[in-house]
Amino acid sequence: MRTALILAAGLFAAPAAAGVPEALDRHILPGFDRFVQETGALARTAEEDCTAGTVAPAYHAAFDSWMPLAEVKIGPSDTGALSVLFWPDDRGFTPKALNGLIADADPVVTQPEDYAEVSIAARGLMALDMLLFDPAYDSADPYTCQLVTAVAVDLARQAETLQAAWADEFAAALRSAGAAENATFLSPQEAMRALYTQVLSGLEFTADQRLGRPLGTFERPRPRRAEAWRSERSLRNVLLAADAAQSLAHALAETDLPLTDAAMVGVREAAAKVTDPGFQDIDDPQARLQVEVLAQEVRSLRTAIANEVGAPLGIAPGFNSSDGD
């Protein structure tokens, strides 16, 4: 059997799979433009007045602008997303890193470009969640004030870097998937698959982590493990993440998505019944039940997207990533 079988040439130039340009042009790239605007506004606000009350609205607007992008963890975002939103953090890396900077009055806060070198746990939205909303920190303190400003300015710089990397390079790699010179995506299907799997894994993350972590077990709920509970954004982030998944699913699909849209209605209805936006009351059985129902609705949304978007494309879970050995 000496016939040298040649690997089937998958390296042909081809137009991007339908859905990929739509996902970029309707959702991802405009999302980064908005993220740059909102984080820029946040940085300017903090530079003028770093006290928590003043910065908080700009912080929320910046967080809102990140959520549509938060689960697209590929390309420049595959590690870049972590320094924007460092969570989960069961081991408390963020308070440790912030406390270290404050205890040393570390001069790294005076040069925004230097701040990019500190631990990713002390950067981004979760650092602000703690500095602005945890009573342990006082934004009227001069060093803490400088720290808030440094985190905000660094976040705006991260936004610009990510936006540029997506717009200049990674979007092109997705669009030219399958072209001879494209070493990132060997076929148009790979680009489609890459975006689609972000939608599914993002919803899994929302159900298992954003909702599953604070739920813990019935005997031992863990409300302090909720995402951004200090700024009472836990529920809002779940809704925005689900919105993002629905929006991306529509961009990727060539058909209407009635099951997906119906599932999203279910998510909204369940969210409306959750009593505490930071999930801090889930040791109450009734409050807990509403959050559990919400987690179920998020999983139903995931199933609907898998059926309506993934199944027609023939995309199955990864052969190796879904295995373990």
Partner 1 sequence: MTTRRGFLAGLLAAGSAPAIGWADAGSPSYLAAAREADGAFALFGLDTGGNLTFRVPMPARGHAGAGHPARPLAVAFARRPGAFALVIDCADGLVRQRLTPPAGQSFNGHGSFSADGMRLYTVEQRDEDSAGVIGLWDMERELTRIGEVPSQGIGPHDLRLLPDGGLVVANGGIATGADGREKTNLGEMQPNLTYLDAEGRLQDQVILDPDLAQCSIRHLAVAPDGQVGFAMQWEGAPGTPVPLLGLHLRGEAPVLADPPLAEALAMRGYAGSIALSGDGRSYSISSPRGGRVQRFGRNGAFLGSVARADVCGLAAHPGGCLATDGLGGLLLLEGDRVRPLGSAPVAWDNHIVAL
Contact residues: partner 1, CB under 8 A: 1-2, 4-11, 74-75, 78-79, 82-83, 88, 90-91, 93, 119-121, 183-184, 186-187, 190, 193-194, 197, 209, 318-321, 323-325
| The two structure tokens encoding residue 154 | 């660094």
Backbone angle region of 192, left / alpha / beta, with phi > 0 → left and psi within -120 to 50 → alpha:
alpha
State in angstroms the smallest separation of the CB of 171 from partner 1.
15
Nearer to partner 1, 52 or 309 (CB): 309
Q: What would the two tokens of residue 56 be?
A: 């908080």
Q: How far is the CB of 325 from partner 1 (least distance, A)?
A: 6
- Taking alpha carbons only, the member of 279, 275, 274 closest to residue 231 is 279
To partner 1, the closest distance from the beta carbon of 239 in angstroms equals 22
Give 120's DSSP letter: G
DSSP string, 223-257: GGGSTTTTTT-HHHHHHHHHHHHHHHHHHH-SS--
> Least Å distance between CB 37 and partner 1?
25
Nearer to partner 1, 2 or 113 (CB): 2
Complex with partner 1: residue 6 or 285, whichever CB lies closer: 6
Q: Least Å distance between CB 117 and partner 1?
A: 11
Q: Which CB sits closer to partner 1, 113 or 181?
A: 181
Contact 32, 207 (CB under 8 A): no
Which residue number, 83 or 246, has a Cβ lying nearer to partner 1? 83
Instruction: Tell me the C-alpha to C-alpha distance, in Å, between residue 70 and each of 67, 154, 173.
Output: 5, 17, 20
